[in-house]
């Protein structure tokens, strides 16, 4: 949910997401679900039952990050969890249908990355307006959760990741390793986000898993690695 990258490749792309969350909400299986005309695959949040990243056999994926532009004060109740909203995307025919028909009112602020058969978008909801940006499938991208990382952290990580990609020309395995090491959650980032140098204790956040979707000339290959143990799951959709 918190640091996400996209790297174009000769055969498609590699899209990778770190989940920085309370370890109690880590996933232990990949769920297969029929939604609309698609079969959807995703690691399931064991508490809320939604997901932060999902893809389908119809050349689609979705990923959610917490927050839009700045940290926000959480409300006691929202109309739907962001993880369930991510799965709801697959109920629509395409991105435009989702943007037109889904009611975002009452949702907690989020950043959503959507891909549907080459239509690549970034959505940011700040509780009053939906900001939509078309993305290039030929460019390298990096996103960080606004609730955990400042703009300066995003800039530094973006520059470092761009240098890594240009220097290494990495594959899916290499990108996942970079996520586990260079892009793992840092308590220093949260201190800067909170504008404090005081030690932070009992923070229930860590990088619990790294998930990665690779699109190649055959289809999609998905990898899910939990960081607290040796659990590694994978699926392929050809």
Structure tokens at 152: 């300066």
Residue 74: predicted pLDDT: 87
- Total domains in the chain come to 1
DSSP string computed for 52-114:
SEEEETTTEEEEEEE-SSS--PPPS--SS-HHHHHHHGGGSSSHHHHHHH---TTPPPEEEEE
The CATH number of residue 73's host domain is 3.60.60.10
pLDDT tens for each residue of 4-50: 999 999 999 999 999 988 777 778 899 999 998 899 999 998 777 89
How many beta carbons lie within 10 A of that of residue 56, not counting itself?
A: 23
The mean pLDDT value for 133-150 works out to 95
pLDDT tens for each residue of 121-134: 999 999 999 999 99
pLDDT tens for each residue of 56-91: 999 999 999 999 998 888 888 999 999 999 999 999
Residue 1: predicted pLDDT: 60
Domain enclosing residue 31, as ranges: 3-237
Scan for tokens 């300066």, then name that residue. Answer: 152
Half-sphere exposure of 133 (CA within 13 A, CB side): 12
Least confident of 1-10, 87-96, 99-108: 1-10
Residues in the chain: 238
The interaxial angle of helices 172-181 and 151-168, nearest 10 deg, is 140
Least confident of 24-28, 91-95, 221-225, 232-236: 24-28
User: Is the model's pLDDT at 200 over the cut of 90?
Assistant: no
User: Is the model's pLDDT at 234 over the cut of 80?
Assistant: yes
Distance, in Å, from the CA atom of 124 to the CA atom of 201, rounded to the nearest integer, reads 30
Residue 28: predicted pLDDT: 86
Sign (positive or negative) of CA dihedral 85, 59, 237, 91: positive
Distance, in Å, from the CA atom of 78 to the CA atom of 142, rounded to the nearest integer, reads 28
With H, G, I as helix, E, B as strand and everything else as coil, classify residue 38: strand
Least confident of 24-33, 87-96, 165-174, 189-198: 189-198
Structure tokens at 124: 């940011």
């Amino acid at each position: 949910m918190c640091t996400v990258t996209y790297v174009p490749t000769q055969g498609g792309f590699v899209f990778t997401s770190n989940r920085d969350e309370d370890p109690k909400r880590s996933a232990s299986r990949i769920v297969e679900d029929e939604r609309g005309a698609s079969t959807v695959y995703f690691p399931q949040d064991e508490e809320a039952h939604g997901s932060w990243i999902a893809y389908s056999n119809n050349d689609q994926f979705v990923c959610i990050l917490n927050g839009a532009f700045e940290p926000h004060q959480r409300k006691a109740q929202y109309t739907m969890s962001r993880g369930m909203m991510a799965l709801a995307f697959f109920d629509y025919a395409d991105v435009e249908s989702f943007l037109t028909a889904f009611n975002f009112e009452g949702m907690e602020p989020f950043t959503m990355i959507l891909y549907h058969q080459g239509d690549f978008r970034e959505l940011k909801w700040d509780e009053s307006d939906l900001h939509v940006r078309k993305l290039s499938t030929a460019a390298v991208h990096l996103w960080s959760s606004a609730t955990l990382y400042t703009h300066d952290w995003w800039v530094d990580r973006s520059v470092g990741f761009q240098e890594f990609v240009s220097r290494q020309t990495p594959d899916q395995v290499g990108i996942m390793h970079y996520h586990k090491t260079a892009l793992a959650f840092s308590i220093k980032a949260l201190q800067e986000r909170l504008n404090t140098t005081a030690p932070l204790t009992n923070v229930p956040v860590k990088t619990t898993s790294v998930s990665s979707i690779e699109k190649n000339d055959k289809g999609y290959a998905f990898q899910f690695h939990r960081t607290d143990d040796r659990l590694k799951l994978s699926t392929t959709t050809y």
